[in-house]
Amino acid sequence: MAFSSDLDRITRAAAGDPAAVSSLVDRYSSGVLALATRMLGDASEAEDVTQETFLRAWKALPGWEPRAKFSTWLHRVALNLCYDRLRKRREVTMEILPERTDPAMNPAELLDQSQRVRAVEDAISHLPERQAAALTLCALQGHTQAEAADIMDVSVEALESLLARARRTLRASLLERAAS
């Protein structure tokens, strides 16, 4: 079934139209799951966050404000749920690694492919939470600066600063892992 817009999907999903519900799930669940997976570094917790996010979405559908952007709202809910979970884990505090900016070292050359993916996933999930969110939304999920800033409820300038710090911290972390 073709839908003219997200508002169309939302209106029909609120009335219980199964095709509209499936369409919303197919359109947005992977993005929410990916965001939660990168933020939390745990597939099972990420699925829980995705379910909770969609439960909140279903409850919000009947009173949906037509001007609101569903994608932004959904990612913001997911991100806040991730922040909540990360705060509960706070007893294991990740110290920000020293920034090692030796341009001669390339983390990609120091790790093989599978190690590299695991290391990057792990390193992202251990970034300070707002850096991880900025990097995931912009560099991994392709959101525009404006969308990512809106989801994170920060200015575009603040987002840019978070991105730069995220990339520096990630690089330092990967070099540290490769060296050890």
Contact residues: other proteins, CB under 8 A: 13-18, 21-22, 25-26, 29-30, 33-34, 37, 47, 50-51, 54-55, 58, 61-62, 101, 103, 106-108, 113, 116-117, 120-121, 135, 138-140, 145, 156, 160-161, 163-164, 167-168, 170-171, 174
CA pair distance 17, 39, nearest whole angstrom:
32
Residue 130 CB, shortest distance to other proteins, in Å, is 14
Q: How many CA atoms lie within 13 A of 65 on its CB side?
A: 5
Cβ 82 vs Cβ 53: under 8 Å = no
Q: Which of 45, 47, 180, 38 is nearest to 120 (CA)?
A: 38
Q: In this complex, which beta carbon is closest to other proteins, that of residue 26 or of residue 93?
A: 26
Q: Considering the complex, state which of residue 92 and residue 104 has its C-beta at the smaller distance from other proteins.
A: 104
Question: Taking a C-beta distance cutoff of 8 angstroms, is the pair 81, 151 a contact?
Answer: no
Smallest distance, Å, CB 64 to other proteins?
12
Least spacing, CB of residue 168 vs other proteins, in Å:
7
Candidates 79, 72, 64; CA nearest to 33 is 79
Structural tokens at position 103: 């341009």
Name the DSSP letter for residue 61: G
We find the least distance from the C-beta atom of residue 14 to other proteins, in angstroms, to be 6
CB of 172 to other proteins, least distance (A): 11
Nearer to other proteins, 81 or 87 (CB): 81
